[in-house]
Each structure stands twice: as structure tokens, then as C-alpha cells.
Amino acid sequence: MSTEIAAGHREKAYELLKADAHKILKLIEVQMENLTMPQCPLYEEVLDTQMFGLSREIDFAVRLGTIDEKDGKELLESLERQLSALHEATTQNK
């Protein structure tokens, strides 16, 4: 596989993972605004399930060699920080 194609695949894989992380953030935002409180077991179940799924996607992409392990960890940590900030903002407003 040429270097250009490999770079394109890595870029595409990272963008797909970022899009999945964004979907999780939006899902949790909607859930917090409309459905449940952060202390609710349903909220925690959805969050845990989604985060586990994303971590498995990232692990697969790392093993496949389409993203660096460092980039995958940074993406997951960034989402965790965003979710934590969202949680704080939501609990302070209620």
C-alpha cells in the first residue's frame, strides 16, 4: 500500500473515531437535558456502554495500525474531559 493511501486511511479512521466520540457527547447531552439526571442508573449505563464501545473501536484501530495508540488515548481522554465538564455544568444548573 502506498504511503499516501496509508496516510489517507489513518486520517479517515481518526475522523470516524472523532465522529463517534462526538455522537456520544451529543447523546449524553440530550439524555441529561431531557431524560435523566446524572445519578440515574440509566444514565450511567448508557455512558459506560458508549465509552466501552468507543474504547474497543480505538483498540481495534490501533491494532490495525490505522491510528497511533497515543492519538487514541488522547481522543478518549478528551471525550472524558468534555463529559465531565458537561456533567458539572448540568448538575450546577439543576
Read off the pLDDT band of 49 (50, 70, 90): very high
Give the per-residue pLDDT at 37: 61
Which pLDDT tens digit goes with each residue over 54-78? 999 999 999 999 999 999 999 999 9
For residue 19, the tally of other CB atoms under 10 A from its CB is 9
Residue 57 phi/psi, 5-degree rounding, is -60, -45
The pLDDT of 42-58, averaged and rounded, is 89
**DSSP letter, residue 67:** S
State the alpha helices, DSSP H only, in 31-68: 41-64
Separation CA 57–CA 30 (nearest Å): 23
Three cell numbers written together for 80: 472524558
Give the per-residue pLDDT at 70: 96
Q: Which domains does the chain have, with CATH numbers?
A: 3-21+37-93 (1.10.287)
Tell which residue, 44, 7, 13, 28, has the closest CA to residue 79: 28
Give the per-residue pLDDT at 46: 82
pLDDT at 42 over 90: no
pLDDT at 36 over 60: no
Give the per-residue pLDDT at 32: 77
